Structure 1
Amino acid sequence: MVLFALRQKRRVKEVTGRTDPFVSWGVSQKDSGGAPQLKGARLFSLNELKNCTNNFSDTHEIGSGGYGKVYKGTLVDGTRVAIKRAERGSMQGVVEFKNEIELLSRVHHRNLVSLIGFCYEQGEQMLVYEYVSSGTLRENLLVRGTYLDWKKRLRIALGSARGLAYLHELADPPIIHRDVKSTNILLDDHLKAKVADFGLSKLVADTQKGHVSTQVKGTLGYLDPEYYMTQQLSEKSDVYSFGVVMLELVSGRQPIESGKYIVREVKLAIDPNDRDHYGLRGLLDPAIRDNARTAGFRRFVQLAMLCVDESAAARPAMGEVVKDIEAMLQNEVSGPDGATSSAGSSANDFDGAGGGARSHPYSDVEITRGSYGDNASDYMPYFEVKPK
């Protein structure tokens, strides 16, 4: 009888751990009184967040999507915040909610969106972030009509790269973002880039030798093919995604448009003998077309193509990417006429299960335009992915 009781207790504990990811925090689903005071993250009451958003009124809503809604609010001390409110009953949302709190409570960098606090009360799961006023990089490239000249784009790339390099090289243990994309890069009043949305992120323990074997998640168009096929996630998976963002900065386009994948299109179009546009005239954002004549522009494209190399081993580390972009920006500032001295060397949110060998994610799919989502943290248009 004693043995049976112990087994039953263990089973209940295992089931509880799967259904309530907060069990390790000692938090009751019915009451927020047991919620932890994590370092750097404040526990807000539901009433506090109701008050600063006028009871979550439509006038305070700045976006919505699969996770829930995002509201703009002002705390009693005048601090402007963005509040991400999860849809009730979404267990996937609960797991990502807990994950993001734990990760953002341990990392602090000027190019990462700061978590101010959270609310876990009466079935509500809310994350409270610093308010980043100028929206996502995707919005600024496509929607807002913001004029982003070449130097501004370099600075945005540099800030984003610095945030990712911090996660990979200075966080202990290292953190893999796993969903780097232009809708997860926010811009402040001065267009300083901040990497956001850590719901899918993974820690890399020392024993894991630089990669994590895990279920494939991410966003099609940014998803590392090697990670997709092997299910081995590494920092180089983020590097691939960042390379796609670099190509967005060059083209002003989404990764997948009209069934065409930007990585493949750029790779096929590059012509080193074309001194004016490097073979990319038809792909360039018109706002920066004149910059294609500079060696710095070519180096930027070359670096992007290194980042999206099919082999993870051939891709640079984010720290190397930072150094390269720093050099490009320095040369843009100091070089004559902005030229450098030498040339140098959604999409769908994807959630794949199961094991075994996989085919290349961008070779055997037909991608067709679907409807638009308007989540503040995921403005990526929706695409249907169908086998050919």
Structure 2
Amino acid sequence: MAKDRHRTYIIGGAVILALALLLAIWSTVAWCRWKCTCAHFGKDRGITRFHYHDLSIATNKFSDIIGQGGFSVVYSGILNNEQVAVKKIIKDSKGEFKDFLTERATIGNTRHMNVLKLEGWCCTISNFKYWFSHTLDDVMLFLVYELIANGNLHEHLSEKPEVLSWEKRYKIVKGLCSALHYLHHQCSPYILHRDIKPGNILLDNEFNAKLGDFGLSRVAKDGEEIALQTRAVGTALYMDPLCMKDGHVDFRRSSDVYSFGIVLLEIAHGENDPFLVHKLRTDLPETFVKDFADKKLDGKFIKTEMERVILLGLRCTEREENQRPSLITATYFLENGGELRPATAAPA
């Protein structure tokens, strides 16, 4: 009897020990896989990784939605006594987090006053099933940005009752030009935004432009072109016509320049009017500044500045990409005027 009890204890102890060992092995493997998942999404060093618990507290349990797109939901919050925008990334149609990886790769290491600042990121588990399945279906990803609470350029041009003054508009033009000059010519490798439009140009309380939404952006090296085996991306009204086709699309700096030009013309005119732009391109009368300027401004603008914005917009939106200026030339022209040389022209 005693022997049977003793044998039972030994067998029971062995089973418990085996289960404990299996649990330890399973926990170790699961933890290593989780660390690999985090490492996959957090390749860039120097970018703060926040805890999900802190973001939940900062956003009052993700209660205040301030924006929503096809693959993201944006919440406002206060983190470390700073106002932030917490962007939850939603998987695309293929079940991947490409927008997250793209934004991390492009905006993560940028430092410019006219480019939206990335404060950090977060990776967490949405479901306990992850520890058994280890699939991305049970992962949640967030990007944390500085919060720009004064809306975007589209709202100020088209939706708000207050007229956006020319002084503020010209400040926005120069800020946007500075941001793109930085991305195209001062970042290495350089960055193509690919979705420049008024809705992606945020404005702070001093009406400084902050270029945001880098979900479609790409990083390229000098001498390389980005060829996309996909449908055209971006917003049709602001997209380079050379990129508006299916299949192979070569997207270059000049494609961003085209979108920039359309935005300039909208800032000057108050709305996106392709018919009027075509008319100006066909016949540029001496009165083009007065004819094209936003009537809501009631003539309250500096003529030289308005003329520069319109002419630059027209040159940036040339059908032939080799006739468009670079952002280096555009920056100089806005400050000093002079000749608008194409990006392909030899230096004077």
**Both structures adopt the same fold (TM-score exceeding 0.5):** yes
Output the CA distance in 1 between the equivalents of 2:317 and 2:325. 10
The answer to whether residue 196 in structure 2 is matched with residue 180 in structure 1 is yes
The question of 1:296 aligning with 2:300 is answered no
Structure 1 residues 54 and 263: CA distance shift in structure 2, 3 A = same
User: 1:87 is matched by which residue type in structure 2?
Assistant: I
TM-score, normalisation: structure 2: 0.76
Moved more, 267-276 or 39-48: 267-276
Q: 1:91 to 1:56 in 2, by over 3 A?
A: farther
Give the match's secondary structure for 2:121: strand
State the TM-score, normalized to the length of structure 1: 0.69
Asked if the contact 2:194/2:233 (under 8 Å) is kept, the reply is: yes
In 2, Cα distance between equivalents of 1:82 and 1:289: 36
Correspondence for 1:85 among 79, 83, 88: 88
2:53 aligned with 1:47, yes or no?
yes
Say if 1:30 and 1:145 are closer, same or farther in 2 by CA, change over 3 A: farther
- Output aligned runs, 1:204-215, within 5 Å: 204-208=220-224, 211-214=225-228, 215=230
Number of equivalent positions: 291
Does the 8 Å contact 2:203/2:210 carry over to 1? yes
* Residue 207 (structure 1) shift: 4.4
Match for residue 275 of structure 1?
Answer: 287
Q: 2:171 aligns to what SS in structure 1?
A: helix
Q: Which residue does 1:369 correspond to in 2?
A: none
SS at match of 1:266: helix
Equivalent residues of 2:115, 2:212 under 8 A apart: yes
Query: Percentage identity across aligned positions?
Result: 30
User: Cα–Cα, structure 1 residues 244 and 92, in superposed 2: closer, same or farther, change >3 Å?
Assistant: farther
The SS at the match of 1:242 is helix
Out of 322, 327, 331, the residue aligned to residue 318 of structure 1 is: 327
1:99 aligned residue: 102
Shift of 1:267: 2.5
Unaligned runs of 5+ in 2: 1-31, 126-138, 341-348
Structure with higher Rg: it is: 2
Residues 45 and 34 of structure 1: CA distance in aligned 2, closer, same or farther (over 3 Å)? farther
Report how far residue 144 of structure 1 moved: 2.7
Please name the residue that 2:314 is paired with: 305
Structure 2 contact 88–142 (Cα < 8 Å) conserved: yes
Alpha-carbon deviation of 1:279? 3.5
Q: Is the 8 A contact 1:200 1:217 kept in 2?
A: yes
Counterparts in 2 of 1:141 and 1:188: CA distance versus 1, 3 Å: same
Amino acid at match of 2:264: M
Offset at 1:38?
A: 2.9
Partner of 1:190: 206
User: How well do the aligned residues superpose, as a CA RMSD in angstroms?
Assistant: 2.6
> 1:140 Cα shift?
1.2
Q: Distance in 2 between matches of 1:101 and 1:291?
A: 42
* Higher relative contact order structure (alpha carbons within 8 Å, sequence separation ≥ 6): 1
Contact 1:67 1:93 in 2 (8 A): no
1:195–1:30: structure 2 CA closer, same or farther, 3 Å change rule? same
Q: Deviations over 1:303-330 (max 9, x none)?
A: 10000000111000011111112236xx
Partner of 1:134: 150
Q: Secondary structure at the match of 2:299?
A: helix
Between Structure 1 and Structure 2, which shows a larger proportion of helix residues?
2
User: C-alpha displacement at 1:274, in angstroms?
Assistant: 4.8
Q: What are the Cα deviations for residues 106-152 of structure 1, in whole angstroms up to 9, with x where unaligned? A: 21111100101111211212110011121111111122334321121
List gaps (5 residues or longer) in structure 1.
1-25, 256-261, 329-341, 346-388
Structure 1 pair 311–199 and aligned structure 2 pair: CA distance change class (3 A): same
Q: Which aligned pairs between 1:154-169 and structure 2 lie closer than 5 A?
A: 154-169=170-185
Alignment of 1:1-388 (within 5 A): 28=34, 32=38, 36=42, 38-57=44-63, 60-75=64-79, 77-87=80-90, 91=94, 94-122=97-125, 123-208=139-224, 211-214=225-228, 215=230, 216-229=232-245, 231-253=249-271, 255=272, 262-269=273-280, 272-275=284-287, 277-280=289-292, 284-291=293-300, 294-327=303-336
Helix, strand or coil at the partner of 2:314: helix
Does the CA-based 8 Å contact 1:178-1:200 persist in structure 2? yes
Mapped contact 2:51–2:122 kept (Cα < 8 A) = yes
AA paired with 1:79? Answer: E
